Amino acid sequence: MTLKGFRFAAVEAAIKKPGRRDLALVFSDTPAQVAAVFTTNKVQAAPVILSRERAKNGIARAVLVNSGNANACTGEQGMRDALSCGRRTAEALGLPDEELLIASTGVIGQPLPMERFKAGIQPLVDALDHGCLEDVAAAIMTTDTFAKLERRTGQAGGVSYQIEGVAKGAGMIQPNMATMLSFLVTDAAVEPTFLRKAFGEAIEASFNSITVDGDMSTNDTALIIANGAAGNLLIKEGTPEAAEFLSLLKEVTLSLARLIVKDGEGATKFVTVKVRGAHSLAEAKKTALSIANSLLVKTAFFGQDANWGRIIAAVGYAGVQVDQDRVEIRFDDVVMAKNGVFAGGSAEADGTEVLKRPEFTVTVDLHLGSAEAAVYTSDLSYDYVRINADYRT
């Protein structure tokens, strides 16, 4: 099945250095609904400030995105540059400025190389007739080692539609948006209020449930554009069609989020941290994040050290209600601790075998309530330090 009413393009503008495509465009042939979520960092890049304001209108037709330069902490000049790039692109597309959103990722604190950026705009627009979403996925990469792309097909009233999305991110990853960009498109016709609600719910269960290093960026942007080109009857909240759309949207965002963690800078492990038996969802998620962000826990994962003591310590300082005499910890199906003490027997050896796997689950049961939450994380390796020590060079 082919996505209808969207075109894509990517070109090389040598924004940071030559040798790869680094300027991309997502374009809807018709005006479309948009829902967007941005970083909660108090320090925000010019593209975030500009696009947040434009997204409030609920209508967008295009997204201009570059890698290699974040256009963050660049003062008034950074905003002028963002506006200028957007204006030139909108003119080339025949759009009002307000229908074009902008996103950037890369090094903070350096002005955009405007001459190179501007020179790439017309070739970018010209490339729309033969580009694809895979081109966008590749162009937005920074320290990513692979492009991230997902697709799902749904039906509404007997009419098929597509949800497709790309993402970038490998480091500076922390919930409440991370150093990541994600752009989703769908040719489904979706009621605007439901689209915003569904996207927010999908983000909370995916991009806001991952952490690589506990850091948060200035540029995080995730958005979805729905243009209705599939021709289905409008998907409205409370209908079976809405339930299916939300389910598929969550599948796409969660799959993209998991790919970000798997591509975590220097990562050798993909770890699901589940917390059960909490008094509330908020406390369950807070506890899971405390474990997932612990440097001692993450280095133990890398060293394949079944050190469950680091995990129960992270539970204890999470700032939630805990009764240490009730806590149970499992590595996959291996019980490491029960009622707050070491399970004994072969637990150490069996737990070490689990940690040798590339993917595993750490489950903590607080035995205090019925709420549970999951967070996805990676280990912390020597390569993480090497990559980030050399990032600007």
What average pLDDT does the segment 141-156 reach? 92
How many Å apart are CA 199 and CA 143, to the nearest integer?
26
Residues of the chain above pLDDT 70, percent: 94
- CB 166 within 8 Å of CB 137: yes
Confidence of residue 266 (pLDDT cuts 50, 70, 90): confident
| pLDDT for the residue numbered 221 | 87
**Sequence-ordered list of residues with C-beta below 8 angstroms from that of 258, at least 6 positions apart, any chain:** 210, 270, 376
What average pLDDT does the segment 164-184 reach? 73
What average pLDDT does the segment 234-244 reach? 97
Choose between 193 and 214: higher pLDDT: 193
| pLDDT for the residue numbered 178 | 47
Structure tokens at 7: 């075109």
Tell me the binding residues for substrate: 142, 168, 179, 265, 388, 393
Tell me the binding residues: 142, 168, 179, 265, 388, 393
Which residue type is seen at 22?
D
Among 145-159, 199-213, 295-309, 316-330, where is mean pLDDT lowest? Answer: 199-213
Average pLDDT, whole number, for the chain?
Answer: 92
- CB 150 within 8 Å of CB 137: no
**Closest C-alpha among 189, 159, 193 to residue 32:** 189
| First and final C-alpha spacing in the chain | 42
| pLDDT for the residue numbered 61 | 97
Choose between 107 and 367: higher pLDDT: 367
Whether residue 391 has pLDDT greater than 60: no
What average pLDDT does the segment 362-385 reach? 92
Choose between 93 and 19: higher pLDDT: 93
Instruction: Quote the DSSP letter at residue 333.
Output: T
**Sequence-ordered list of residues with C-beta below 8 angstroms from that of 239, at least 6 positions apart, any chain:** none
Predicted confidence (pLDDT) per residue in 43-76, tens digit: 889 999 999 999 999 999 999 999 999 999 999 9
Catalytic residue among 179, 218, 272, 363: 179
Among 1-10, 161-170, 333-342, where is mean pLDDT lowest? Answer: 161-170
User: Has 179 been annotated as catalytic?
Assistant: yes
| pLDDT for the residue numbered 171 | 54
- CB 329 within 8 Å of CB 364: yes
Whether residue 126 has pLDDT greater than 90: yes
Choose between 213 and 377: higher pLDDT: 377
> Cβ-count burial of 316 within 10 angstroms (0-12 exposed, 13-18 middle, 19+ buried)?
middle
Whether residue 170 has pLDDT greater than 90: no
- CB 103 within 8 Å of CB 23: no
Domains belonging to the chain, first-starting first, are 6-262 (3.60.70.12), 270-389 (3.10.20.340)
User: Which DSSP string corresponds to 288-309?
Assistant: HHHHHH-HHHHHHHHHT---HH
Confidence of residue 180 (pLDDT cuts 50, 70, 90): confident
What average pLDDT does the segment 207-226 reach? 79
- CB 48 within 8 Å of CB 218: yes
What average pLDDT does the segment 96-113 reach? 93
Predicted confidence (pLDDT) per residue in 30-52, tens digit: 999 999 998 877 888 999 999 99
Among 129-138, 215-224, 304-313, where is mean pLDDT lowest? Answer: 215-224
Confidence of residue 262 (pLDDT cuts 50, 70, 90): confident
